[in-house]
Amino acid sequence: MIDSNRIKRLPPYSLGKIKGIMSEQRAKGIDVIDFGMGNPDKPTPAYIVDKLCEVARDPKAHRYSVSKGMLNLRKAMAHRYKEDFNVDLDPESEIIATIGAKEGISHLAMAMIDEGDVVLVPNPTYPIHLYSVVIAGGNLVSIPLTKENGFKVDLEKIRKNNFWPKPKMMVLSYPQNPTTASVDLKYFEDVVAFAKENDILIVHDLAYKDLVFDGYKAPSFLQVKGAKDVGVELFSMSKSYNMPGWRVAFCMGNKEMIANLAKLKSYMDYGMFIPIQVAAITALRGPQDCVKEIAETYRKRRDVLVDGLAKVGWTIPKPNSTMFIWAEIPEKFKAMGSQAFAQKLLLEADTVVSAGVGFGEYGEGYVRFALIENEDRTRQAIRNIKKLLENS
Ligand SMILES: Cc1ncc(COP(=O)(O)O)c(C=O)c1O
């Protein structure tokens, strides 16, 4: 075999099988409704795209950039955190741009973790939280997120567990993908105290900062006094500005962690295409109405899906954030497992969802809907699911 041990440690891509069946169904002419991947369906706001096009015509904008991102981009991010959270960040030493949060998290793990270092990661979670540790050669310890603990990392339980060797780092992400759990600032105060007391570094992924509803405001981990002593936060532009394909995110906070990531990245990339960075500055500094409109689109879809499923007998709590619905599998299908149930939904209700187990073994018993279909198509999916529930 020519593959490395690093590659051998990575399981096959979890959505692979469902994607294969989806393509076969579509080739047969079946209209498959796709709630699979958390990939925003709407375009980036026009004024951001216009800026990209304008700058792309400037010959000076075609050269290599810098891997940590242009200073003006980092300043724009600092401005946004000041506006949104009243958090002060030094653009020189406390902010680095990354080529999406996924890239930032992967390389941060490589920059911070040595072979065998213990890293605590919630489970289920966005897969790169788990696999960045595996890729970096760390020793991954899953912290189960369950209905009973409100899908929150139970710090008291970790204290009692007395892990040995002592964990070096813990990854958190609230609002949480896939469980949609959210926290208040007090929770992050406890996290910072816990991190100080146990000498653990924190990586907090705030990908869903702006996808919040019903008056809820997602706190930043960096709002807590002393948070910068123990960790970093990642913010991605993918969801807030419908910019998933652009690959723009930031890692912010602890200077040493940022410096380590910057050093590693300086060997690996030359940063983003300059016009993308300038357009991202426009987005971060401009009026934020588009962000609210984007959140509102997901809120409406959430209501259509959750209310509609409740009417056909599938009751799911309404989340106050993210672009997902985390649905416990109806009792009569539970025993078949999330992968088989997702396949059943695809074959018998023409509806694609993600199997909970694809986010870690503690995701078993659930499927995740990503709210990336419009309201009409969401209603169609509910009609299809109604038939499946009635006929099975
Ligand atoms: C928790 C979380 N972090 C990060 C990302 C990806 O962010 P980016 O597009 O910046 O890589 C996602 C995408 O679904 C996510 O759910």
Ligand 1: nearest atom to the Cα of 322: 16
Token pair belonging to 281? 């500055």
Strands 366-370 and 354-355: antiparallel
The better pLDDT of the pair 164, 356 is held by: 356
Q: Which CATH number fits domain 5-43+290-391: 3.40.50.150, 3.40.50.720, 3.90.1150.10, 3.40.50.300?
A: 3.90.1150.10
Distance 236 CA to ligand 1 centre (A): 7
Give the confidence band of 13 by pLDDT, cuts at 50, 70, 90.
Answer: confident
Q: State the pLDDT at residue 342.
A: 97
- Rounded CA-CA distance 121/119 in Å is 6
Residue 69 predicted with pLDDT over 90:
yes
Q: State the pLDDT at residue 2.
A: 86
Q: What is the mean pLDDT of residues 237-252?
A: 98
Residue 61 predicted with pLDDT over 80:
yes
Distance 249 CA to ligand 1 centre (A): 9
Ligand 1 atom 2 nearest Cα: 207
- Rounded CA-CA distance 345/44 in Å is 31
Per-residue pLDDT tens digits for 142-194: 999 999 999 999 999 998 888 888 999 999 999 999 999 999 999 999 999 99
Ligand 1 atom 12 nearest Cα: 207
Q: State the pLDDT at residue 163.
A: 82
Residue 14 predicted with pLDDT over 80:
no
Ligand 1: nearest atom to the Cα of 98: 10
Distance 72 CA to ligand 1 centre (A): 23
Q: What is the mean pLDDT of residues 19-33?
A: 93
Per-residue pLDDT tens digits for 281-299: 999 999 999 999 999 999 9
Give the confidence band of 310 by pLDDT, cuts at 50, 70, 90.
Answer: very high
Ligand 1: nearest atom to the Cα of 249: 10
Distance 101 CA to ligand 1 centre (A): 6
The residues spanned by each domain of the chain are 5-43+290-391, 46-285
The best mutation among 35, 106, 205 to test binding of ligand 1, ranked by most ligand atoms within 8 Å of the C-beta, falls on 205
The best mutation among 77, 126, 145 to test binding of ligand 1, ranked by most ligand atoms within 8 Å of the C-beta, falls on 126
Q: State the pLDDT at residue 196.
A: 97
Q: State the pLDDT at residue 165.
A: 87
On whether the CB atoms of residues 303 and 51 are closer than 8 A, the answer is: no
Q: Do domains 5-43+290-391 and 46-285 have the same CATH topology?
A: no
- Rounded CA-CA distance 97/202 in Å is 18
- Rounded CA-CA distance 373/381 in Å is 10
Collapse the DSSP code of 274 into the 3-class scheme (helix H, G, I; strand E, B; otherwise coil) and give the result.
Answer: helix
Per-residue pLDDT tens digits for 311-351: 999 999 999 999 999 999 999 999 999 999 999 999 999 99
Mean pLDDT of the chain: 96
Counting every residue, how long is the chain?
Answer: 392
Distance 127 CA to ligand 1 centre (A): 10
Pocket lining for ligand 1, CB < 6 angstroms: 38, 100-102, 126, 173, 177, 205, 207, 236, 238, 244, 249
Q: What residues pair up with 120 in beta bridges, in sequence order?
A: 141, 170
In words, the CATH class of domain 46-285 is: alpha beta
